[in-house]
Structure 1
Amino acid sequence: MTGRAAAVEAGLLRRYASDQLLTLAKAVMENAFQPIVEVQTGAVFGHEALMRGQERIGFETPLDLLDQAESAGQLLALEQMLTSRALAKFASLPDHAHYTLFLNLDHRLIAHGDTLVEGLLTHLRAAAIAPSSVCFELSERSDNTSHADFSRLVTRLRSAGFKLAIDDFGIGHGEMKLLCDYPVDYLKVDRHFIHQLDHNPRKRHLVKNIVQTAHVLGVRVIAEGIETEGEFVTCRDMGVDLVQGWHIARPTPHLSELKPAYPHLKEAGPLRRVGQSLDEILIRREVETLPAVYENDSIETVFDLFRRNPRQSFFPVLNANGEPRGIIHELHLKEYIYQPFGRDLLKNKVYERSISHFVERAPVVGLDADADRLMSIFANMEGSDCVLLTENLRYAGVISAASLIRIINEKQLKNAQDQNPLTGLPGNRAIRDFMQQAGRDSDGARHFCYCDFDNFKPFNDHYGFHLGDHAISLFAALMRRYFFSADVFLGHVGGDDFFIGLTDWTREELTEILDRLLSDFHGDVVELYAPEDRQQGRIRGEDRNGVERDFPLMRCSIGVLELPKGLVIDDVSRLSAEIATLKKSAKDSEAGLYVSTIRPPQA
């Protein structure tokens, strides 16, 4: 058949389909399942149901079919038919109770939310599937939050026990608003940010911060569209929880082709760092396995739990799959406990106050997280009682603030011989090893950054070593925030001197991040000065020769030595001498940043 004839036939099918759309869709449409897999184990966590077969009735994409169904007033009926089939297929999976089915929610059905939910609940009851085994994906390619009925639908879905995910995160409408204002369980990072992630520092910076933000809010992160091992390993190293894409498995309508696990993921990339194994040992030692309640339990179950544990002010809340949904705190129940007939009111079916109504979000982190990341997440979740820990995404226990302090202290003690005890960063021996290795590896550009505080001594003399150490720790924390990928080395030379080594970065990428680092440090460190000193912009002190004079407020200067691609330097002493000469130029510069390139010898 010629291309013109095929186009004519497709057009005829579409015109016919306008009148018989639902009938034809029932005859040809089917659901393909694509696995969503746990990063650390390769085990299948769930499947996304995807529409297939629309081309048989003249529609190029599933979206074309949905648009036509909306125009014909049959979108709700079409979605109900496809959803019921997806549930039937899901129910026939071995051990389906341990999986989650991800369903896309068309924004045009928000107004029909009650009908959609009631129909789905009917199918679930018939198939003996818990609502928490189903997750609705809210695509941010459309502005869901602007719909008048959206908030009510979210409340309805949550109270029924369904899970929610933000789809296409990063390229749509108001995704940060959705993440901030609504109780979502998963965030699916759009393929745009995952494509060649292992070769793009800007994308790595963005994805790392998305993961950090999501975990602070108790949201798990799914990376969509992973097509290479490099993308997968980078996502794993950044703390992504779940992955989906052709590198894992392609969508298939045949259940026989689905596997319970994909072992090739466990074998990908280098082995985990020794430091992480130490952190995991320390964290496991401090885990407290509090009893948990399930969101579908009765309120009376919660009252009994608090009665049997009078010293405990909160308990974790799990869904039917054993995933943490947050905590339930006695504070939120007091108004009912101490009011006349308050407990009877909660049990009243008309009042409809289930456990899920009282769930408070909490940070959720895997047991294999490193201690520094755990501390950062805890510190950024103001007012949180604990961090919820998971193993293979299921509840494993909690870490309190006191336990976390013990973990960090013990880690610092164990690493004292190899790392600076204040910042936890490698010292001069490790810095020298990095410079030697990077100098020999000429496959790409390399940058050696020497960071030195200006006017640190008078600040330390004036305010004392405690605040001096605080400034040093602050800079180390900012370094970790901005430089975290596998191609970055961070070191602490000693005192207020630091080292940053990078491979395969461009000068533009590096200077952009360094500018932010310097700006943030200056903005944060001035807050350590007394108000009157900040106002004057200086303090009185003695210089290194004992002469008393005024000193400007502290800042940091960074001298950067660039080794271009193809240049091999095996002499660390030469590199150190070159870096030393940059310090004065950096301190003399207005911005505190100076970059110089070692030129290869002329032929």
Structure 2
Amino acid sequence: MPEERETGIPRQGTQGRPAAGSSAPPPAALPAGEGGAVALPARWRDVVAHLHPVFQPIVQMRTARVHGHEALLRGWEAAGFASLAALFQAAADEGALPALEAHIQAAAVAAFLAAGGTAEVRLFLNIHPQAQGQVPPPPQGEQLHLVYETTGTGPVPTRAGRDGGDRRGRVDIAFDRFGVGVADFQRLLASPPSYVKIDRAFISGVDGDQAKRALLGQLIGSAHALGLATIAVGVETSREFYVCRDLGCDHAQGFLLGRPGGSLLAEASEIAESLTRSDRRRPSDARQRLIELIERIAPLPLEAPKAKLLEYFGNLAAPPVVPVVDRAGVPRGLIRERHLKPFVYSRYGTEILRNRAFGNTLKDFVIPCPVCDIGTPLERVIELFAEAADSDGVIIVEGGEYVGFLSSQSLVRLLHEHRLATAVDQNPLTRLPGNNAITAQVEALVADGERDHVLVYLDFDNFKPFNDYFGFRQGDRAILMFSEQLKVQASALGGFAGHIGGDDFFLSCSGLTADRMRERLVAFLGRFRSDAESLYDVETRERGWFEAKDREGRVRRYPLLRVSAVMVQLVAGAARPGLETLVELIAVHKTAAKAAPDNLFLVAG
């Protein structure tokens, strides 16, 4: 039975429960007379006596550092409510919602501080859709980094902004349950947040669902193209963790990394560190190449005065753009030198920049810029740059913090190198990756023992007689027809397709069971067999065979074209055969595949 999902403070229309087996004592109940300008009615003072906050960690996926904690509400059952939604609906009906919201937020901040929370670790607070804009400030004198999570289509809290908050702390905005509604994308453009929390619906079972993986990749890519950090919500298995991390997600939250409790997680997550250590896959070559090309441009702090730009770009050696980061080192975008020209060349422009009455931070000049982690695959970096219109480059981060800038010139060089390397190992007819890329793919999957993988060798039956009798042009048409269909199949599976040579092909897929992969392959092979009939004349199609000479020169009847496949299953957690052993397994079972009714033979690797 799947575990019940966690619920925040407060969130509408969901349910939650206290963490099972938690040894930490629950924090003190919410204070009944503090934290809000509006006093609670007597009935609600009794209610809040039963409520208390707990905290769930949010972890940076590549460094395993604890990025923050989300405050979650507990105790509504003891207060006499069937769900958290019922609690807040009753408060709204009785006009007590603003006061209740203020008490809950104040109690969460107080409990966070009592548990040892500091400004170095962010506190995520849920804001009820009907109470947004009525957020209590941090306690006087406390330097906190708050992140207000908003849901629904209501306005974002008016006090918060991406310019760093007020003097008593830093404030950011996170869009919760991102991707589940059309309004999310409209709000993303109208009021860009700092974070998007991707809904559990896209995370659950993503390791075994290629369509879901594709959608998740698009959501992450869309957020990064706008310079926003992403949080995968509800990560419960190591396989989900690896998929989210490999797709470029920045942070994760879920039962795998920590259940809600009264105490705060240490500086780093032991679970995330263990997952990273046990990942035996070879690190991508992209990391070293990115390190070589990154420009270590010193960023400007977001709260710096505008006059700082005159000093920065006044240096003749300064680059044409400068990244901007907040006080936590998180990139907020970049500033272009050319955007200062209206000020520099106008009569009073420089005085305006120095005049604090017109606003004295860099916020007005910052524009969005794509952001990529330093471990992002090279192909994804290039895609992200191509998707961002009028982009000057890509900001590179590690663990969510600024590392450097990859300029458009460097990205063009990367693209050229990538295309050249691909072309060298590409089959000239089908444009599919060749043997070097196939070998690298097999070695990577063998090293990845955390997930199920399927390797497929595909081979035409009786292709030589077909090629000899109907001619090489018709033979090339058959190869091209199959290769195009194989590309589509690989894309649908989120897998890899390669051309070994001649009429031999390769396909791999991760995250699907052997039974499910077999089902997809049988349908794929049957579809090609049907489509290949178009390569014959009407008489041959109706007859179902053609006559041609075999290797000994004897005339034989051959059936119409079809493709056979040997499928090797690599089970998660099991010992993996080496590359040579896999080649032998395939060679031994090719005959069995050609003799099988469905032209497919499964080998347990």
Q: Is the 8 A contact 2:312 2:318 kept in 1?
A: no
Give the 3 Å change call, closer, same or farther, for CA 474–177 of structure 1 in structure 2: farther
Q: Distance in 1 between matches of 2:497 and 2:59?
A: 32
Give the 3 Å change call, closer, same or farther, for CA 97–562 of structure 1 in structure 2: same
Aligned to 1:271: 279
Q: Distance in 1 between matches of 2:153 and 2:498?
A: 45
Q: Is the 8 A contact 1:561 1:596 kept in 2?
A: no
Give the 3 Å change call, closer, same or farther, for CA 332–170 of structure 1 in structure 2: same
Equivalent of 2:53, from 21, 31, 35? 31
Q: Distance in 2 between matches of 1:275 and 1:413?
A: 22
Aligned to 1:98: 120
Provide, for residues 150-187 of structure 1, a one-character-per-residue CA deviation record: whole Å limited to 9, x for no partner: 37x56963345432222112323522223344322222
Match of 1:382, as an amino acid? A
Q: Distance in 2 between matches of 1:99 and 1:314?
A: 30
Please, which moves more after superposition, 156-165 or 96-105? 156-165
Match of 1:363, as an amino acid? P
Check if 1:391 corresponds to 2:398: yes
Aligned to 1:158: 162
Equivalent of 2:143, from 128, 140, 146? 128
Aligned to 1:234: 243
Deviation at 1:334, TM superposition (A): 3.0
Deviation at 1:78, TM superposition (A): 1.7
Give the 3 Å change call, closer, same or farther, for CA 345–42 of structure 1 in structure 2: same
Aligned to 1:178: 187
Aligned to 1:203: 212
Aligned to 1:52: 74
Give the 3 Å change call, closer, same or farther, for CA 81–303 of structure 1 in structure 2: farther
Give the 3 Å change call, closer, same or farther, for CA 421–31 of structure 1 in structure 2: farther
Secondary structure of the residue that 1:48 maps to in structure 2?
A: strand
Q: Distance in 1 between matches of 2:78 and 2:367?
A: 47
Q: Is the 8 A contact 1:450 1:560 kept in 2?
A: yes
Q: Is the 8 A contact 2:162 2:193 kept in 1?
A: no
Aligned to 1:288: 295
Q: Is the 8 A contact 1:28 1:53 kept in 2?
A: yes
Q: Distance in 2 between matches of 1:18 and 1:560?
A: 73
Q: Distance in 2 between matches of 1:599 and 1:514?
A: 14
Give the 3 Å change call, closer, same or farther, for CA 126–444 of structure 1 in structure 2: closer
Aligned to 1:138: 150
Q: Distance in 1 between matches of 2:293 and 2:64?
A: 27
Provide, for residues 402-424 of structure 1, a one-character-per-residue CA deviation record: whole Å limited to 9, x for no partner: 2234445667788999x549979
Alignment of 1:12-91 (within 5 A): 19-91=41-113
Alignment of 1:353-432 (within 5 A): 354-407=361-414, 419-420=425-426, 425-427=433-435, 430=438
Match of 2:268, as an amino acid? A
TM-score, normalization: structure 2? 0.68
Secondary structure of the residue that 2:78 maps to in structure 1?
A: helix
Check if 1:261 corresponds to 2:236: no
Please, which moves more after superposition, 306-315 or 46-55? 306-315
Deviation at 1:85, TM superposition (A): 2.6
Q: Distance in 1 between matches of 2:67 and 2:346?
A: 43
Secondary structure of the residue that 1:54 maps to in structure 2?
A: coil
Q: Distance in 2 between matches of 1:174 and 1:86?
A: 29
Deviation at 1:361, TM superposition (A): 0.8
Structure 2: gaps of 5 or more residues = 1-38, 166-170, 447-451, 464-471, 474-482, 529-560, 571-581
What is the RMSD of the two structures over their aligned residues, measured on CA atoms? 4.7
Q: Is the 8 A contact 2:373 2:399 kept in 1?
A: yes
Provide, for residues 209-259 of structure 1, a one-character-per-residue CA deviation record: whole Å limited to 9, x for no partner: 22222222222221111122222222222222111111111111234xx22
Match of 2:333, as an amino acid? G
Aligned to 2:199: 190
Give the 3 Å change call, closer, same or farther, for CA 273–495 of structure 1 in structure 2: farther
Equivalent of 2:339, from 304, 313, 332? 332
Aligned to 2:600: 598
Q: Distance in 1 between matches of 2:392 and 2:436?
A: 39
Aligned to 2:306: 299
Q: Distance in 2 between matches of 1:106 and 1:100?
A: 19
Deviation at 1:491, TM superposition (A): 2.1
Q: Is the 8 A contact 1:88 1:127 kept in 2?
A: no
Match of 2:325, as an amino acid? L
Secondary structure of the residue that 1:158 maps to in structure 2?
A: coil
Provide the aligned length of Structure 1 versus Structure 2. Answer: 488
Please, which moves more after superposition, 246-255 or 304-313? 304-313
Provide, for residues 113-169 of structure 1, a one-character-per-residue CA deviation record: whole Å limited to 9, x for no partner: 2x53xx42xx2652123xxx2222122xx233xxxxx37x56963345432222112
Q: Is the 8 A contact 1:159 1:357 kept in 2?
A: no
Provide, for residues 558-599 of structure 1, a one-character-per-residue CA deviation record: whole Å limited to 9, x for no partner: 968485999x99663587789999xxxxxxxxxxxxx95437
More helix by share: 1
Deviation at 1:337, TM superposition (A): 3.4
Deviation at 1:56, TM superposition (A): 2.7
Check if 1:572 corresponds to 2:586: yes
Q: Distance in 2 between matches of 1:237 and 1:83?
A: 35
Q: Distance in 1 between matches of 2:199 and 2:311?
A: 43
Q: Is the 8 A contact 2:322 2:336 kept in 1?
A: yes
